[in-house]
Structure 1
Amino acid sequence: MYGADSDWLALKAGSREAFEKLIRVHYQELFVYGRRLINHPDFVKDCIHDLFVHIWEKRSSIGDTDNVRLYLLKSLRNRIVKQIRKDTRMVGLVETAGLDGNEAEWSAEETIVHSENAMLTTRNVELALHTLTNRQREVIHLRYYKGMSNEQIASIMNISKPAVANLIHSGVKSLRTVWKTFLLLFVSLFSSL
């Protein structure tokens, strides 16, 4: 991982190696997070690029941080929100990004069955996630996909910890309701065959 103290201080002092390490370590996570906010890959890449350029250009004046990951995620979110507000054509494009995963080796038949099951599950999860508000989806992503605390999420989203807890609670409650509906529809469809 990127050493929060020594590497950040080295970057601030002008170390090109520390800057390149920052990009190497955090780029992929920033890209995935940005795609969770807005499913527009080129726009997200531009925002990440601008963020890193800003960090390099302002390296001597940026503040210290004890959590580089949190600092970068919050900075990217702020940059994306700012850019969306500037460009009204971007409003409405906010949606969740697709999920990538590595699969174990199986026979051709097992691979097909697994692929079909995974596609059905992914589609159901995506449908369920799309029933949530944008903020609920973002909180769910940060909490359950990134493993962040309510305090870290509150800092990134510029909201209070109770607001984070409320969004998580209402989002999970909605997901449970939608998921139960999917299961009931599936069972009723399957039993009618």
Structure 2
Amino acid sequence: MKADFRLDYGVSEESGQEGKHPPGALSPDALLWTRFQSGDPDAYEEIYVKHIPSLYRYGLRLTDDPDLVKDSVQEIFMELWDKRENLGKVSAIRPYLYTVLRRKLLARAQGNARWLQLEEENENQLQASGSPESEIIESERSAILSGKLREAVKKLNPRQQELLHLKYHARLNNMEIAEITGMHSKKVSYHIRTAIGILQGMMYGKDL
């Protein structure tokens, strides 16, 4: 009997999308953001407390310089408060913050050898797939292989590690990941499927 091949190689984060809401109604994140923009300190604190741990974790997926990550995250929250009245509407706060952090780290780390370069993939690497992602994830046993899986993930390239982190830790959808990384959503899906195939090949000695 086959079990799900799940990427539970670390602590999952709460989804940035907090459940469904009635059509036309503002999402919980949008309501929180509106309160924050109006100068509500409690809303600001709620955003800070809720998202700062995941921002640190995501930042450390992009660079191995913890001081750079810490300074960048703190700077982001200071800028958010100072510029709150001029910021646009945000319906999903976590993807927004991830995008800001990614851009800030990239800008501050240009020329820094400690930045994990996220190589640009050629467009011709994008291949159509007849299998939905769920069919690729399904299969193989994983419950007793979490340690081996963590080691296998470390062998992926930085781009693949980042995408898996956003997908299975931050639990973002492909459109949100595409917005954060600047990739097309189809490329996001393709690279995630490719990374999963590589992991399964390393762990089970076969390709799917």
Distance 1:136 1:174, change over 3 A: same
Equivalent position amino acid for 2:156 in 1:
L
1:28 matches 2:28: no
- 2 CA distance for matches of 1:11 and 1:37? 28
Instruction: Name which of 61, 66, 71 aligns with 1:41.
Output: 66
Could you say which structure has the greater relative contact order, defined with CA pairs below 8 angstroms and 6 or more residues apart?
A: 2
Q: CA deviation at 1:7?
A: 2.3
Distance 1:147 1:43, change over 3 A: same
Query: What is the TM-score with the length of structure 1 in the denominator?
Result: 0.72
Q: CA RMSD in A?
A: 2.6
Equivalent position amino acid for 1:80 in 2:
L
- Give the unaligned 5+ runs of structure 2: 1-17, 19-26, 119-143
State how many pairs are aligned.
Answer: 157
Larger relative helix fraction: 1
- Paired residue for 2:115? 91
Equivalent position amino acid for 2:53 in 1:
Q
Q: Secondary structure at the match of 1:88?
A: coil
Equivalent position amino acid for 2:164 in 1:
I
- Paired residue for 2:136? none
Q: CA deviation at 1:92?
A: 4.3
Q: Secondary structure at the match of 1:64?
A: coil
- Paired residue for 1:52? 77
Equivalent position amino acid for 1:34 in 2:
G
1:157 matches 2:181: yes
- 1 CA distance for matches of 2:107 and 2:94? 20
Q: Percent identity?
A: 26
User: What CA deviation, in whole Å up to 9, does each residue of 1:123-157 have, x standing for no partner?
Assistant: x3343123211111111111122222111111111
Q: Which has the larger radius of gyration?
A: 1
Query: What is the TM-score with the length of structure 2 in the denominator?
Result: 0.67
- Paired residue for 2:34? 9
User: What CA deviation, in whole Å up to 9, does each residue of 1:40-73 have, x standing for no partner?
Assistant: 3222111110111111111110100111121111
- Give the unaligned 5+ runs of structure 1: 95-117, 182-193
Q: Secondary structure at the match of 1:60?
A: helix
- 1 CA distance for matches of 2:175 and 2:197? 21
